[in-house]
Copies of this chain bind each other. A is one copy, B any other.
Amino acid sequence: MSQLPEQPADTSIPTSADVARLAGVSRATVSYVLNNNTTVRISESTRRRVREAASDLGYVPHAAARSLRAGHTRTVLLPAAHVPAGPLQQRFFIDLQSDLRRLDYTVVQYGSGGLDPDEAARAWAELRPVAVVSPVGMALTRVGIGVLTRSGAKAVITLGPQPVDGAHALVMDQREVGSCAVRHLLSGGRSRIGVVMPQEPGLAPFSEPRLAGALRALDETGADARIQPLPLRYEEASAEDLAARWRSLGLDSVFAYNDEYAMLLMRALQDAGVEVPGEVAVIGADDLMLGRLLRPRLSSVRMELATAQPLAEMIDRLVQHPGGAPERHYLLRARAVARESG
C-alpha cells in the first residue's frame, strides 16, 4: 500500500522512549517534564532539551496511556446536543470549554443521537471521564448515573429544564420564560391568553415547561383569567388555519413560544385582518433583532444565561471533593421586553 510522506504507518509514531533517547534522559524524566510535574527537581536546561527533542520528533503524549498510569483521566465529557441548540447555549458551551481547558481539563463532546439515556451513559463511561455534563434533552436516569460514577466519574451533572434525583443539576428552568410572558400580558390588562405549543419534534422539553410556567403565573397572581394551549406547526399553512378561526377562540392575547413562532402567527393574524395589538397582544421569546423589524415591533421575553466560568470552577471543585450532596444551580434569567405588539 502506498504511503504519502505525511501519512506514515503506525510503526513510526514517536514514543516517549524515542524522546528520552534523543534527549539522553530517562523516560521518567520525559514524563515529569512533559506533564509539567514540579514535585521533582529537574534543571531548566534538561527541561529544554526534553521539550526540543519532543518537538523535533513531533511527539505528543498519549492521553489514554497517561490516564491508565494516573488511574483516572482529566476528561470532562460534554455530550453533544441531539437537538440543534440556540446561539445562547452554543456560546455558553464554547466558553465552558475554554474555561475548563484553562483548569487543565480535556474537554470532549460525545455524540449520543439515537441512543437512549442508559445506552448513552454506558457509551460515555467507556471514555472514563472524571466529570460528565449531560445535555439538554437527554434525561439521565439513576441507572445511567450509577454506571458513570462506578466507572470513575467524580461528578455527574445534569443540564436541563428540570433537576434529576441524585445528581448535581444545572437547571435552565424554562418555566420562568412562560411565567414572565404571562405576568407581562396580565399586567397589560389581558386575561384570555393563548400559549403556542410548537408541533416540531424535540421542542417538548422547552414548550411543556413554558406552558407549566404560564399556568403557574396565573395561579400565583390569582387573576381571573384563563390559558389555552394552541398547537402550531412552523409553517405558513398552519398559522393561516389558526388565524382563520382566531375570533372563535375568544382570546385577547398570545404567548407564541418564541419570536419565530410569534412572527409567523402575527403575519397570519394581520393577513386575516385581526389587529395587533388592538384585538390581540402578541409576545414571543428570545428577543431576536428580527422581531424589532416588524410593525408593530414584537414584544419578547429576553433570556440570559449565567456565565460559564462559575460552572467550570464548580466542576473542578466537585472533581476534587466528590461525594457531597447534590447541588442545584439555576442558570436562566428571563425578563419581558415590552415593544409595540402587546
Contact = CB atoms under 8 A, between A and B. Distances in A.
A68 B65 contact: yes
Interface in A161-190: 166
29 contacts: A1-B322, A1-B323, A4-B325, A6-B149, A7-B323, A8-B150, A58-B147, A60-B151, A62-B126, A62-B128, A63-B126, A65-B68, A80-B80, A80-B93, A80-B97, A80-B109, A82-B94, A84-B90, A84-B94, A98-B113, A98-B114, A101-B111, A106-B123, A108-B127, A109-B109, A109-B110, A234-B289, A263-B290, A267-B293
Interface string A60-75: 1111110110011100
A64 B109 contact: no
Interface in A129-159: 142, 145-147, 149-152, 154
A43 interface: no
* Identical chains in the assembly: 2
B8 A149 contact: yes
A86 to B, nearest CB: 9
Contacts of A142: 6
A340 interface: no
Interface of A: 1-4, 6-8, 10, 12-14, 58, 60-65, 67-68, 71-73, 78, 80-82, 84-85, 87, 90-91, 93-95, 97-98, 101, 106-111, 113-114, 122-123, 125-128, 142, 145-147, 149-152, 154, 166, 234-236, 260, 263-264, 267, 289-290, 292-293, 321-325
